[in-house]
Amino acid sequence: TPGLYIVATPIGNLGDLSPRAAEILLNADLVAVEDSRVTAGLFRHLGGKGRMIPYHDHNADSVRPGLVARMGGESVALVSDAGTPLISDPGYKLVRDARAAGHMVTTIPGPCAAIAALTLAGLPTDRFLFLGFLPAKSGARAQAIAEVAGVRATLVLYESGPRLSACLAALADGLGDREAAVAREISKKFEETVTGTLSTLTARYADAPPRGEIVVVVAPPGEAAPATAEDADAALAEALTRLP
């Protein structure tokens, strides 16, 4: 069927490509890819060839109208280098324009590093906020962290190895020393999840920047500290003044 197929691909282990994703990729009239060398590797694994067309941050605006036009009569699959397209990856404008043009839009859901890390962290999962990559510059990063300090949700963010320790320190500064987890190389040979407070994790990685791909998960703000006896007395006294 013509239209747009948003196809999730593995974040490390090629075995995580779903049979339906493989079928769509092998049969799509066109596969919009972030980096054709990366997706060529996936097609090698599948033992087939895809009709790939580059679609990335630098050419998206010029390529998009033609791509959307072709969805009227052809099946167009969208993939990113890894994981779920649109999640810290290009794609949302393609979906927006495909919808505006009235084309069929569907997804073949699958791996996503943010969700995988959330499941590994052992922190509350009922409410979470995905922050993508924080700004690299320390001032902008501190501001971005300050903006979410009051949010009562687990935070999930992407970071690179060389910047990890500085990022954890900035999170401890802006949020307080919360529990956190660093999930690395998920679904790959050297998968590892390390948990601890932001300050212990900062220290752990300060002199040993980790290799590979990383997701940081941070606990929500703690419950308010237990009231002291004086607080309780004051609250009681205040309540008594309001009794009839």
Strand partners, 180: 196, 218
Write the Ramachandran bin of 41: left for phi over 0, alpha for psi from -120 to 50, otherwise beta.
Answer: alpha
Nearest-10 Cα torsion for 20, 25, 28, 33: 140
Provide the residue type at 235 as one letter. Answer: A
Cβ distance to ligand SAM smaller for residue 29 or 35 = 35
What does the longest C-alpha to C-alpha distance in the chain come to?
A: 81
Residue (50 or 210) nearer to ligand SAM, CB: 210
Least Å distance, CB 95 to ligand SAM, is: 14
Start-end of H helices in the chain: 19-27, 36-46, 60-70, 92-100, 113-121, 138-148, 161-175, 198-206, 229-241
Q: How far is the CB of 216 from ligand SAM (least distance, A)?
A: 8
Distance in angstroms (rounded) separating the CA atoms of residues 9 and 15: 10
CB of 10 to ligand SAM, least distance (A): 8
Q: How far is the CB of 219 from ligand SAM (least distance, A)?
A: 19
Identify how many contiguous H helices and E strands the chain contains and give both numbers: 9, 10
Question: Which is closer to ligand SAM, CB of 103 or CB of 184?
Answer: 184
The answer to whether residues 108 and 21 touch, using CB atoms and an 8 Å cutoff, is yes
**Which single residue is written with the structure tokens 């954890």?**
168
**Angle of helix 161-175 versus helix 198-206 axis, rounded to 10:** 150
Report the amino acid identity of residue 181: A
Nearer to ligand SAM, 70 or 188 (CB): 188
- Closest CB to ligand SAM among residues 101, 166: 166
| Closer residue to ligand SAM in complex, CB, 25/82 | 82
**Cα 13 from Cα 206, distance rounded (Å):** 29
Q: Residue 202 CB, nearest distance to ligand SAM (Å)?
A: 18
Q: Which residues of the chain form contacts with ligand SAM (CB under 6 A)?
A: 11-12, 80, 82-84, 87-89, 112-114, 158, 183-188, 213-215
Q: How far is the CB of 160 from ligand SAM (least distance, A)?
A: 6
158 DSSP β-pair partners: 133, 215
Least CB distance to ligand SAM at residue 237 (A):
52
136 versus 232: smaller Cβ distance to ligand SAM: 136
Comparing every residue's Cβ against ligand SAM, the nearest one is 83
